[in-house]
Structure 1
Amino acid sequence: MRHLLSTKVLSKEQVEQLESAGWMVVQYDAISIEMQQTPIEPGDQTLIFTSKNAVKAFLRSFPKEDFSGIRCLCVGSRAVGMLRERGCTVLEEAPTAEYLARLIQKGYAKDSFIYYCGDRRLDRIPDALDRLGVQWKEAINYKTILNQKAFNREFEAVLFFSPSGVESFTRNNNIQGAMGYCIGETTAEALRKHTNRIIIAKTPTIEGLIAEVVAETNLLNH
């Protein structure tokens, strides 16, 4: 029996998918999210979100607001869905922050922005906005806490869902010969500091990552 570690607690159905493919699953939450009161109201600026946690914190901070007419640029279909449910107009839906940064540079040189994000956000969006020379503000509305845990054993596969999850795991563990499955390129970039044995999900969702594991497992079994 091969052993797989997920750095995020999965649903029962997701675990069963992996078990059906022949994996013994160990799981924990490598990070925790602490929501903060959103410090800046949206006003008439274009809003940027690169994570569903930033969207959740934003919507919780203004529970009674009708956001009809609010313009947003967003990463991830789930985050987009939450914004649209509250009336926001999503101008761009991007698969990654890097892709969204390129869209901003190409088509939004006349806008001003608020970037809602976590305390461990990467520099892709700020760098793009600075290069454009536009007005923008940063609004940190959630914190990422690393839940460090040591595993005195080896795994054949480890699932990673964020750069912070990679950092949390590798502070106390060596990935050694395991295959690192990453939800997206940004997560893979963080993992490349520790291994070159990486597979990236074709669709940057939990379901997409699990599908990648199952597909690769089926290939190995034949």
Structure 2
Amino acid sequence: MLANNPSILITGEIDEALIQQLTSKGFNVDVIPFIKTESIQSAIIQQEIEHIATIDAIIIFTSSHAVEAISHLLSNKKINWKVYCVGEKTKYVIEHLLPAVSVADYADNAIHLSQKIISTNSINEVYFFCGDKRMDTLPRLLASNNITVHEVQVYTTTIFEYALNRYYDVVLFFSPSAVRGFFTSNTIDEKTALFAIGNTTANEIKRYTSTNIIISEKPGKKELIEKLVEFFE
């Protein structure tokens, strides 16, 4: 058990098992999600997804939320997609919710994934399933290398703004949107340790503070929690 029971703020949804892992080691944990994602329910988008399902296509997912938003429309369809994605979690969700598709490759962030797609020298058109607040990095890099990007927004992200009136020893961020929500109404004490799930989220934090940021080697919530525990050992 930890001697001083560090206080942890987690700014996104997280499995109860990971919370219990922290509390069992003596951490005081608050979970306050600063974002909420919802699938877009639209006949037009549904028709577009169903059309894409009928063609041989290169598909990109940068978030597991996008996979979850479309999977129910594809459960009984034979799909011939070659998929590229960001993150091991997204890859895992694809393999479980869309087992008929092939994950050609994945990377730890949008820049590295773009580089992998560009380096094939054989891809000139992709379909990008994303949210309404997606980062511009991937479509910009692909377009600058003459790859046509068909963007299909399949979920929305609502950002919440909560003013917190207490100090935390640690704040964990899982997404750039949660970072923006947090810093809209809050600042960071110089003694607070900041943890980010990946470089994209860390870069967003740097827009608001010069505090040192600790990043997990792999972009997963479990990996970030392990990094946090290691930090205090």
- What's 1:201 paired with? 216
Match for residue 39 of structure 2 among 10, 26, 35:
35
Unaligned runs of 5+ in 1: none
- What's 1:57 paired with? 69
What do the CA deviations read for 1:129-166 (whole angstroms, capped 9, x no partner)?
A: 21121222110111100122111011110000000010
Match for residue 175 of structure 1 among 188, 206, 222:
188
Match for residue 60 of structure 2 among 41, 48, 57:
48
Match for residue 203 of structure 2 among 167, 175, 189:
189
Match for residue 84 of structure 1 among 76, 86, 95:
95
Unaligned runs of 5+ in 2: none
What do the CA deviations read for 1:159-200 (whole angstroms, capped 9, x no partner)?
A: 000000101111111122211110111000000122222100
Q: CA deviation at 1:5?
A: 0.5
Is the CA contact 2:10–2:172 (under 8 Å) kept in the aligned structure 1?
yes
Alpha carbons of 1:63 and 1:171: their partners in 2 closer, same or farther (altered >3 Å)? same
Matched, 1:114 2:161: no
Structure 1 segment 158-169 matched on structure 2, within 5 A: 158-169=171-182
Is the CA contact 1:21–1:217 (under 8 Å) kept in the aligned structure 2?
no
| Larger displacement relative to structure 2 (83-92 or 137-146) | 83-92
TM-score by length of 2: 0.87
Is the CA contact 1:45–1:111 (under 8 Å) kept in the aligned structure 2?
no
- 3-state SS in 1 of match to 2:13: coil
| Larger displacement relative to structure 2 (71-80 or 207-216) | 71-80
